[in-house]
Amino acid sequence: MIHAVTSANRHLYTRQLKAMHKMRYDFYVAQRGWSDGLTIEDECEYDEFDRPDTVYLMNLSRDGEIRSTFRLMPTIDYYLLDKLPQFVDGPVPRGKQIWDMTRWIIAPAFRKASGQTRIKTQGELTCGLFEFAATRGITHYTTLMDTAFLPAVEQAGWKYELLGLPVPYGDRGETAIAVIIDVGPKALAHNRMIYGVDYSILFESPPPRIGERIEDVLARLDVIETIEKISDREARMAAWSGLTTQFSAA
């Protein structure tokens, strides 16, 4: 299930947020040697875009472990492309229906997972990403990514526009490119289809009752059970074919 972690429910996810900042430290600071503009504390990485209006999408396992995460924020205020305008040829995109996407990471344990598990993990996060857009009326996400990632985005069938030319970043000759991706309702349908996710995958916790933990909220709302039921597609398909057999027998 993909959890939308917002300022309203962030205190329910203290453990996961800490784990996410640690993963970011490992990936961006330890492996890639980034440090400019970053705050590093206790092997965790933070930057100026970890703000109250930031939303983290987290793909969590049933026991609350992170599989993968995204960071999202509105573009009506200062955001990454305002800080790095050299990646944008023309005006920096801005609007209520445009959000910016950064820090896309898969947890190391899931990088080693078998092909199918990995695809399911990523497919669910991608569908959650597009579903989140639907809940907020977001039509476009901007993102700044390694140019080497562009063929995969093109071949996944996403609709996008390039915002500028590739420009170098980092010290190994890598270049990044800014794109704006169409995430309207058609895009959600397309992604659900290519990843085979035909159910709602996004969960945004309502304000919790005093003293509740995320597990308590999920239990109170009966969310785990519902999700388990509907995500167990094989069982559902089996049940369905059993039903049709009965139907035709009658």
Partner 1 sequence: MMHGLSQFISDCRTVSSGAELDDLFRNLYRTFGAETGALSCIGSPSKLLNFSKVVGSSNPEFVRTYIENNFILYDPAAKRSIKSLAPFSWDECRIEVGEDKRALNVLNVADEFGYKNGFVVPIHSGLGNFSVVTFTGSDLDLTPATRGSLHLIGIYYHLALERLMLIEAAQARPDLTPRQIEVLRWVSAGKTDWEIGRILSISEATVNRHVERAKERIGVRTRAQAIVECLVNGIVTL
Residues that bind partner 1 (CB under 8 A): 27-28, 31-32, 80, 89, 101-104, 106, 111, 115, 118-119, 122-123, 126, 143-157, 162, 164-169, 172-176, 186, 189-190, 193-195
- Identity of the residue, 77 or 89, whose beta carbon is nearer to partner 1 in the bound complex: 89
Output the smallest distance, CB 33 to partner 1, in A: 13
Output the smallest distance, CB 110 to partner 1, in A: 8
Output the smallest distance, CB 249 to partner 1, in A: 27
Confirm if 159 and 182 have CB atoms less than 8 A apart: yes
- Identity of the residue, 184 or 208, whose beta carbon is nearer to partner 1 in the bound complex: 184
- Identity of the residue, 12 or 58, whose beta carbon is nearer to partner 1 in the bound complex: 58
Cross-strand pairs, 134 = none
What would you report as the CA-atom Rg of the chain, rounded to the nearest whole angstrom? 19
Output the smallest distance, CB 237 to partner 1, in A: 14
Output the smallest distance, CB 39 to partner 1, in A: 16
- Identity of the residue, 175 or 200, whose beta carbon is nearer to partner 1 in the bound complex: 175
Output the smallest distance, CB 43 to partner 1, in A: 19
Distance CA 52, CA 57 (A): 14
β-strands 98-106, 140-146 pairing: parallel
Distant-in-sequence contacts of 116-123, Cβ < 8 A, 24+ apart: 119/195, 120/195, 121/59, 121/67, 121/68, 122/68, 122/195, 123/191, 123/194, 123/195, 123/196, 123/197
Output the smallest distance, CB 248 to partner 1, in A: 22
Distance CA 72, CA 229 (A): 29
Q: How far is CA 1 from CA 57, 94, 210, 218, 224, in A?
A: 10, 30, 24, 11, 9
- Identity of the residue, 126 or 205, whose beta carbon is nearer to partner 1 in the bound complex: 126
Distance CA 98, CA 81 (A): 12
- Identity of the residue, 9 or 104, whose beta carbon is nearer to partner 1 in the bound complex: 104
Distance CA 3, CA 168 (A): 33
* Tokens read off for 61: 């396992």
- Identity of the residue, 12 or 163, whose beta carbon is nearer to partner 1 in the bound complex: 163
Residues 6+ apart with CB under 8 A from 149: none
Distance CA 32, CA 29 (A): 5
